Structure 1
């Protein structure tokens, strides 16, 4: 099972859609990360954004959803999560930087 992360920054949310493809099925999950209500110049605002990013990555990569017969998180889900976090962190680092400069 392969995962691909696709990111698109829109006015108030970041959409994340990994595509899991196998010979039989294609699954696409999407979620948003709202951040316009946060003051990203404060540590508290950045901490809340980090919690939202983590929750979105976990939701999209199905972390916490049990597979039949096991509660162990698959290698594919762990890889999806790592890729999603890395891409979201990179994207939001730019948003935070712009917010600190007053451009957001």
Structure 2
């Protein structure tokens, strides 16, 4: 299995249409065996953690624990983007890439 990197790039302000530079997260997965369910689950968890960090999903605003709609959209989009990249990587590895 090749050692490689995966990047997610989204921010809540980008999704809301405000001008901002997209944040990126690099997710290392060279230590995982993506041919196993355990390896795939571990990478999915890393994607989830990165999406939460990029979008500030775990940040709490004083006075509320409710996440803004922009934060929820950012998280959903960043996670979907990461899972889409994961699917492409798995597919390439199955084809011998």
RMSD: 2.2
Higher helix share: 2
Instruction: Name the structure 1 match of 2:47.
Output: 53
Find the partner of 2:4 among 9, 12, 15.
Answer: 12
TM-score by length of 2: 0.79
Q: Which structure is higher in RCO with an 8 Å CA cutoff and minimum separation 6? A: 2
Is the Cα contact below 8 Å between 2:7 and 2:82 reproduced in 1? no
Richer in strand (by share): 1
> Displacement of 1:79 after TM fit?
0.3
SS at match of 1:14: strand
Q: Which runs of 5+ in 2 are unaligned?
A: none
2:63 aligned with 1:74? no
Correspondent of 2:95 among 87, 96, 101: 101
Q: TM-score w.r.t. structure 1 length?
A: 0.75
SS in 1 for 2:28: coil
Task: State the shift of 1:26 in Å.
Answer: 3.4
Say which SS state the counterpart of residue 77 (structure 1) adopts: helix
Task: Tell me how many residue pairs correspond in the alignment.
Answer: 92
Contact 2:55 2:71 in 1 (8 A): yes
Q: Deviations over 1:17-63 (max 9, x none)?
A: 224258x9736432211112211000110010110010010110101
**What is the SS of the residue equivalent to 1:89?**
helix
